[in-house]
Structure 1
């Protein structure tokens, strides 16, 4: 009888020991998880806060935006574009042809929306943004679109982009340094996230005084769009 009790006691002790061992292992696992996950969560949250702070609505023009025209213009056109997008290039041509007639009434804002389906679009956006740090965003913007066919089919358009920078008189060494800046990548990412939040799903996407609009396909359509908006504003005054 005593041997049976001893056997039962031994079994209980073994189970208790196994339970303690499992608890110890779980405790170590939790500590390791906290060591790994907590810093990761903090980094993700900080990045999210930083990016969210940069998101701008199409109804607002920020100090970081690239603006062509007067800040006092009654009509603000915000364009989300991709430098490798053929429709965006056509849209840029439309704006260029109409600008002489609408420029006094319009400020045009370009925001990046590079599509993953265009393999060089992110690199082109970085070149434009880096050029902007030398006050040459719009000339690079125009050159990228005007020569889209030249670099779009290239396996590596960096040499072509560098040539554009040289033609524009940029400091090439500084440009190369700026291309890898986190601020440059953050600006592009923030533009795109802000566009997505505003409903952008394709390029080009146009907003007129904060409201989505169909992107004009001709200079005449663009001029008519601006004229209607001016009349709407005057009617509300």
Structure 2
């Protein structure tokens, strides 16, 4: 698996993009995304191989449910042969229809962790339904361990011989697009007079109700073009 990752890197320092690319090949998936846990309650996307993989990650972040969310919180593998099946729809009533509409059927999420410490999630999707073979599951788990090794090797020379970047995060940068969401969560908490968890729930609910990306709504809050009012939440 490391040889496959190094081959995707082609002489560059290994990044999240190379791990995702190797996972797509090894598991015969159509796309992959890797997210990292900045805190136990916060995940951000490090890389997505394509627009569908990115959308699936964003939908799960917005809706608060899905295989990536479940794998990250439970620390176990979440392997779903067909998210559009009744079992998937009952398990994730909001995410399953969104994933199906995006063109994903099979979805497979694997936690990145060291002992009890959860560092992130590797999620793969297929456009056709179907289960992974035991060998494919084993390969995905090995790639997760490879990703963890890369994450823990910050500042060390990478195994493929490329020069290390002492100032770079080892999986390709600080992630994409979540800082403003957390800034907005803090602002909404003050505006509503609630805790961060309730504020995040209110932000997520509004994004879902108005059918806009959570990051876009957060930008409106941060730019002070949108304000949450307690009167909008009579049960608060």
TM-score by length of 1: 0.30
Larger relative strand fraction: 2
Larger relative helix fraction: 1
Asked which structure has the greater RCO (Cα within 8 Å, sep 6+), the reply is: 1
Bigger CA radius of gyration: 1
